[in-house]
Amino acid sequence: MSLTRDKPSFLISNKGKLLLVLNNIFYKKKTKKRKQRKYWVCQTKGCSVYVHTSLKDVVLKVTRDHNHLPHPENIQLKQFRTKVKERAMKETTPIIKIYEEEVISSQMPPETLAIMPLARELLKERAMKETTPIIKIYEEEVISSQMPPETLAIMPLARELRKNNT
């Protein structure tokens, strides 16, 4: 039971919940909070390691050793996905373009790239669809579709939809 090698950091889950990242392992927050402590449990199914932190997120205790190895590539992947989602919410650049730019700029190791989802998989995520403007999703679906050129020619472009909505 080593206390910590790394400083704890935090990410947001797909459901919008806070995740603790410690020694390349994700922990989800438990609802109980008492005596100025927060409790976190390892997110890996079947692993019951708890981390106790102060309200200021200082690690106080790690209950036992994990029954699995850490996967640093999962942390990098989660950080990448979070960055893509944040940019998609703030910018009007198509999600596929944001994805490509972030892959190029991230310089991830091959083992992380191997488990990375395709850009189309990110488009399907519920959180992204709920927070991304309809026009942006519509435009990407039209561009990525395999429609014949005659059909694409008669479909309104996003800029025309913007004019009609404003």
What are the structural domain ranges in the chain? 9-62, 72-165
Residue 116 in this model has a pLDDT that exceeds 60: yes
- Whose CA is closest to 97, among 133, 145, 136? 136
Q: Which residues pair with 34 in a beta bridge?
A: 37
Q: Which of 23-37, 82-96, 117-131, 151-165 has the lowest mean pLDDT?
A: 151-165
Q: What average pLDDT does the segment 51-70 reach?
A: 82
Share the mean pLDDT of the chain: 73
Residue 148 in this model has a pLDDT that exceeds 50: yes
* pLDDT for the residue 21: 86
- Confidence bin at 123 (pLDDT 50/70/90): low
Helix 72-90 × helix 95-106 angle, to 10°: 140
Share of the chain above pLDDT 70, in %: 67
* pLDDT for the residue 120: 67
Reported pTM: 0.55
* Segment (H or E) for 30: strand 25-34
Residue ranges of the alpha helices (H) in the chain? 72-90, 95-106, 110-115, 119-123, 126-131, 134-144, 149-154, 158-165
Q: Do residues 60 and 53 make contact, with C-beta atoms less than 8 angstroms apart?
A: yes
pLDDT tens track for 8-30? 888 888 777 888 888 888 888 88
- Confidence bin at 115 (pLDDT 50/70/90): confident
Q: Do residues 38 and 58 make contact, with C-beta atoms less than 8 angstroms apart?
A: no
Residue 91 in this model has a pLDDT that exceeds 80: yes
